[in-house]
Amino acid sequence: MPTPNVENSAFWEYSVSRYTKGDMAALALLLQDNHGVNVNVLLLICWCLENNVIINLPQLNTVIAASKTTEEKLKLHRAKRKAASPERGGESAAYELLKAQELELERQQQHDIVASFNEQAVTRLGQIQSISSNIFNASIAAFINAYELRDNNEARQLVSLVVNQLS
């Protein structure tokens, strides 16, 4: 089967729709804030699960490395935005501007992630399998290992809850 190619705009649309559905945002932010997970990489794993694509650990590590340039910028910007929140006495207009800038950084990061992903020889499963089937998509194992979550029960449970949001 040919290697799947992801379009930037399609992945952005997927990410926005997936992130705003159910408890995904809350779960993703817990993984980000408490366990160092990159939400855009998490969304890529969700895309892989829903599109029957397997990305292995070395491939995923390459994708994560591609996100590092914008990840540091995002972390600094997030801290600045949180400090400027209206709940902390900041102006609403300034906060909204910081949110818009953060979204643009997220788009840049997704562009880097997609470009790296498209260079990988990932595997598409031959038969369409539903997320709730007994088939285990190895992309989850790669994700857990890439972020060193194997011995972290809380983080693994959060990942499981994220996967359940997909079904």
Distances (CA, A) of 147 to 60, 72, 155, 156: 10, 16, 10, 11
Tens digit of each residue's pLDDT (9 = 90 or more) over 47-83: 999 999 999 999 999 999 999 999 999 999 999 999 9
What is the C-alpha to C-alpha distance for residues 93 and 74, in angstroms, rounded to an integer? 20
Report pTM.
0.89
What is the C-alpha to C-alpha distance for residues 2 and 86, in angstroms, rounded to an integer? 49
List the one residue out of 49, 53, 40 whose CA is nearest residue 11. 40
Instruction: Report the Cα–Cα distance between both ends of the chain, in Å, rounded.
Output: 25
Q: When comparing pLDDT for 166 and 128, which is higher?
A: 166
Tens digit of each residue's pLDDT (9 = 90 or more) over 92-127: 888 899 999 999 999 999 999 999 999 999 988 865
Tokens of 7: 């379009």
Domain boundaries, the chain: 8-166
